[in-house]
Amino acid sequence: MKGRRRLLAAARPYLQIFSVFALTPPPNFFDRTTNRRLRRFLIVGYGFYSLILLGVLICMSYVNVLALNAEIEQFKLEDFTRAMGRVQKVVLASMGIVIHLNMLLNYRRLGHIYEDIADLEMEIDDASQCFGGQPGHNSFRYRLATNCGLWLVALVGLMPRFTIEAMGPFVSWPSKILSELVLIMLQLKCLEYCVFVVMVYELVLRLRHTLRQLQVELADCNQRDMLQALCVALRRNQQLLGRVWRLVGELEKYFTLPMMFLFLFNGLTILHVVNWAYINQFNPADCCRYVRLGNCVLLLINPLVACYLSQRCVNAYNSFPRILHQIRCLSVANNFPALSMGLREYCLQLQHLRLLFTCGGFFDINLKNFGGLIVTILGYTIILVQFKLQAVAEEKGRFDLNNSKSF
């Protein structure tokens, strides 16, 4: 069991960190070697712990709404700022509720995802043993650390620096600390998604490595029995890649709602921060200008990491047709009809089973979609600034009119 779960073992520390923030059940809940009664007690205890964190999230949303109302009354702002702030707080609370409901309703699906990853890893490694095996298993730990671990440390370290001061004077320090815990918790959901994407990427890389080894063997093979064995290996590689495609579909169903709310929440929060930056631009005592900029950068980088990792995995998957084309150009492919037919079937599968990381089909999680997100945020920011400029012009006009009447 231990030898077939290297990927999950490497990802286990990250998953345990996410479970501390009540984002995902602890991995040992799905270990069937644990005593059933003990596992039930642990699940019930973790359920109460998750409800406590959810209650903290809802309470902090309410506290921040009250602080927002007090700050709006102090600045005598229009209802637009109040409405946008309340919507942002409602989305924050809704995202927390969605995450907890997703854990409850998709608990079994997550267990099946773990089993699929372990089974695929074992079968891919078994299929590659005849071709020298995989390059090395430590590379995955390094890849996981550089892609997710470093950003995890940076996010947890920088988020308080860029958000605590911007919460305003109407929020007490205990409430600020709890609100910071909530913000970090929600942003870490994106990193949980990234960990699973990196595991899928590792499986795709291993299959691609095996396919390239098949290409090398086919280039120098002239024996009919050996060609038949290589065709069987090619067929197995095709079936395993199809299972990876189905695994991505299961991940899409599990992460659809949380990722949709994450993109929505980050976009609304950036607009909310820009709105307050414009409000305080003429305030000489404002000390949060660079803090707000850093907050916006963090909120943009977090989905960027998910989009980049997903795009890289898709690019690795899309490199399979090129390798198959190179195999079809070999002379052995023309002389052995079974091989030619297998290559044609593999190419047709890749044409129909295109790998996409999506949020329920509403939008794709890739670099193209991230560019669209940036354009959308910039568009709404321009509209927001135009409304603010119009409000300032109208206020200045009323002030000049009152001054002229006084004379």
Please report the pLDDT score of residue 79 as a whole number: 62
Query: Residue 230 — pLDDT band, cuts 50, 70, 90?
Result: confident
Tell me what pLDDT residue 136 has. 64
* Residue 364 dihedral angles phi and psi, to the nearest 5°: -90, 145
74 versus 101: the higher-pLDDT residue is 101
Render pLDDT for 246-259 as a digit per residue (tens, 0 to 9). 999 999 999 999 99
**Could you tell me which residue, 68 or 209, shows the higher pLDDT?**
209
Q: Provide the 10 A C-beta neighbour count for residue 148.
A: 21
* CA 387/CA 80 separation, integer angstroms: 9
What mean pLDDT is predicted for residues 18-31?
88
Tell me the C-alpha to C-alpha distance, in Å, between residue 6 and each of 29, 119, 133. 18, 11, 15
The phi, psi pair for 85, rounded to 5°, reads -65, -40
Distance CA 152, CA 140 (A): 17
Q: What is the pTM of this model?
A: 0.90
d(CA 170, CA 69): 10
* Cβ(110)–Cβ(250) below 8 Å: no
35 or 202: which carries more pLDDT confidence? 202
Tens digit of pLDDT for each residue in 374-396? Answer: 998 888 888 877 776 655 544 44
Cα 188 to Cα 262: distance, rounded to the nearest angstrom: 10
- Distance CA(204)–CA(318), nearest Å, equals 10
Residue 87 structure tokens:
């919507």
**pLDDT given at position 156:** 92
Tell me if residue 358 falls in helix, strand or coil: strand
Summarize the confidence of residues 148-175 as an average pLDDT.
86
- Mean pLDDT, the chain, rounded, equals 85
DSSP letter (8 states) at residue 106 = T
What are the phi and psi torsion angles at 358 (to 5°)? -130, 165
Mean pLDDT of 337-363: 90
Mean pLDDT in residue range 261-268: 92
